[in-house]
Amino acid sequence: MTYQSDVILDLKGVPCPRNTAMAIIQLETMDQDEILKIIVDDGEPIKNVPPSLEEDDEYEIIARKKSDQGCWHLYVKVL
Amino acid sequence: MPVFDKNKIFLDNAATTRPYDEVISLMSKMQSDNYGNPSSVHKVGVKAATQVERARLAIADTLGCSADRVFFNSGGTESNNTALKGIATNYSQKGKHIIISPIEHPSVHYVALWLAKIGFEIEILPVDSSGFVDPDEIRKRIRTDTILVSVMHANNEIGTIEPIKEIGTVCAENNVVFHTDACQSFTKTPLNIQEMNADLITLNGHKIHGPKGVGALYIKKELDIDPLLVGGGQENNMRAGTYNAPAIAGFGKAVMKSNSDDIDKVIGLRDYFIRILKDEIEGLSINGPLGDKRLCNNINLRVKGISGKKIFLELDKCGIAISTGSACSSGKTTPSRVLLAIGLRDDVANESVRISISKYNTMEELNFTFECMKKIIQKERKLN
């Protein structure tokens, strides 16, 4: 299944929790039902970013996919 | 709106500024509710980190650079130390020649002198009678072993706005790193990375109605620079130490609050005050340039035959805070290094005072200050 995103935020190389903070700041600027695609590194970032975002009832991670380059693509919907 | 209190007139805004109410409120909230360590990945930490990143984005947006090129630290002095020492240690294989202006802040001037003690060659440029550096003088002095040029954007004592774009171009053409200390000018005069050709820019919070103890250093992406403080991996290993999150958040808020209307107001107050001083006080001269090459909030003046220290002390008794020399050298009787560099004699330099305005000052305050100054000068002239 493919997802359309309204905004893409490349957070490769950005350490935790700065990556989550940057994602939150971006999400705060977006409207309801819009989708943010976040690109994060494997390892700590993929372990830390999704649960941190999901703690907020305003966002839902609707998909996560590992790319061929080894990083992760998260699709986050503004509720 | 500010309330006029003739016993509390603050005209030393080049030394520091009153923080915006919103800055105080945000910092207070950070201390009481949002006190997490921004390096922690739990919810409390993420909340604090979000404020840090918000501040970084605000600064980057104002500079016109990517947020990942803004590195927080403890203030202008740390930024200047990092810039000079970081380039010196990392580029010493290429050379040891460093060029600075003679009117730099002590945190550049004395770092350069310290570098001279450990084997670097420091060359100090001339400035003209208004404090301007000539970019061609830099071009003439750059050698194959020149590793760094450091010229401040706007001078803290006499308000001279240096031709940074032209200096940056000379440095770029000659592949020399260019650092500028923009503590006095940030948010007060246009400062766009794309136009400046600067590799390193020093910023701080408390000159712009933000908190003390926080600053930032812009570092160009391609630049290889050693950190001043090592330890934890904060700031992508560029500055170790737990984030001062309340101060960083306050710094960011101050940047967000800055606007061109305030600058226009300050310019209006500055020019009004200069006009009435020059019209009414005999023997009064302005140090530094006039017009748009002068920092919007700066007035540096001297009155023939009257000690600047005397004016400073008498105004203080009236509840008016100004400065003699720069804030960092207040209390010293030696003449200002900056005023000597623009060609003033020791005795003439000692006649100088600095009055620096902010958006919180009013015409009423300036009129009251003017009346006090007139009385002080008349009294001194009678005594002499």
Instruction: For B367-377, write each residue's pLDDT tens digit.
Output: 999 999 999 99
What's the rounded mean pLDDT across residues B85-110? 98
B328 is catalytic: yes
Say whether pLDDT at B194 is over 70: yes
Distance CA B55, CA B247 (A): 10
Q: Which residue of B has its CA nearest to A23?
A: B50
Q: Which residue of A has its CA nearest to B36?
A: A17
What is the band of B7 on the pLDDT scale with cuts at 50, 70, 90?
A: confident
pLDDT value at position B384? 77
Among A14, A17, A44, beta carbon nearest to B45: A17
The alpha carbon of residue A46 is apart from the nearest alpha carbon of chain B, in Å, by 12
Task: Identify the residue among B42, B52, B53 best suited for mutation to test binding to A, counting A beta carbons within 10 A and taking the highest.
Answer: B53
What is the band of B334 on the pLDDT scale with cuts at 50, 70, 90?
A: confident
The alpha carbon of residue A19 is apart from the nearest alpha carbon of chain B, in Å, by 9
CB atoms A20 and B49 under 8 Å? yes
Say whether pLDDT at B71 is over 60: yes
| Geometric angle at alpha carbon A70, from B45 and B71, rounded to 5° | 40
**ipTM of the prediction:** 0.91
Contacts of B236 in chain A (CB under 8 A): 15
The alpha carbon of residue A52 is apart from the nearest alpha carbon of chain B, in Å, by 7
CB atoms B49 and A17 under 8 Å? yes
Instruction: For B344-369, write each residue's pLDDT tens digit.
Output: 999 999 999 999 999 999 999 999 99
Interface contact A46, partner B, CB < 8 A: no
pLDDT value at position B126? 97
Of B65, B171, B318, B328, which one is the catalytic site residue? B328
Contacts of B233 in chain A (CB under 8 A): 15
Positions of chain A with pLDDT lower than 70, given as ranges: 1
The alpha carbon of residue A1 is apart from the nearest alpha carbon of chain B, in Å, by 31
pLDDT value at position B174? 98
Among B43, B49, B52, beta carbon nearest to A55: B43
pLDDT value at position B223? 95
What is the band of B203 on the pLDDT scale with cuts at 50, 70, 90?
A: very high
CB atoms A48 and B41 under 8 Å? yes
What is the band of B192 on the pLDDT scale with cuts at 50, 70, 90?
A: confident
CB atoms A20 and B46 under 8 Å? yes
CB atoms B46 and A25 under 8 Å? no
The predicted model scores a pTM of 0.95
Percent of chain A whose predicted confidence (pLDDT) is above 70: 99
Q: Which residue of B has its CA nearest to A11?
A: B68
In this structure, how many other beta carbons lie within 10 angstroms of the beta carbon of residue B17?
22
